[in-house]
Amino acid sequence: MGTIKKLQRGLLNFERVVERKRYWRALRDSLTLLFPFVLIGTYISLVNQAIFQKNGFLNHIYGLSHWVPGFSQLTTYTTMLSQSINGIIAVIVAFAAANFVARSAQRDNLLAGISAAISFMMLNFNYAVFNRRDANVPRVLEDNLGTQGIFLALLVGLVTGWLFTHLVRRPHTHQAIETQ
């Protein structure tokens, strides 16, 4: 029972440290924001690979592709949905990290987030396109836009947020929009 109390005390102390540090808080909030996107993307990938692929588990056992109407359209739809959700995760993290850092310093958080997302996309541009004349070379390094690029996206977002907090002189306040 004594080790559980020590563990609880240690976790509470760690939480207090995280609450006081701007960059730890931005990291925590970014990953918290990212979780639903990853969860939904994982579920869609699971359904896509288990049911709607040619060698998928349920399709292979029950032969769903032969008797389910619109199977090929559902396959196309779930594949596109899976790739689009899983392919934008790192861009969301870059935006969110810079947004949360700039917001905690009362700087322009939306501009910081957009700058981080654009910077991250520029880092993932495939510059080999200029050297090759092959039309099949992808213009963007797509692997880094998904879960493989989260660390780089966090780094870009935190650095962009740091730049916005230290280079912008005045605090930013959003204007309230009056509706009639």
| Calpha distance 117→39 (Å, rounded) | 21
Angle among Cα 105, 157, 38 to the nearest 5 degrees reads 115
User: Which residue do the tokens 């958080």 mark?
Assistant: 109
Q: Quick one: average pLDDT of 19-43? A: 89
Residue type, 152: L
Query: Is the pLDDT reported for residue 147 higher than 90?
Result: no
pLDDT digits (tens, 9 = 90+) for 111-137: 999 999 999 999 988 877 777 666 677
The residue extents of the domains of the chain are: 9-167
Residue 105 CB: number of other CB atoms within 10 A? 17
**pLDDT of 8-30, one tens digit each?**
999 888 888 877 788 888 988 99
Task: Dig out the tokens for 88 from the structure.
Answer: 């934008």
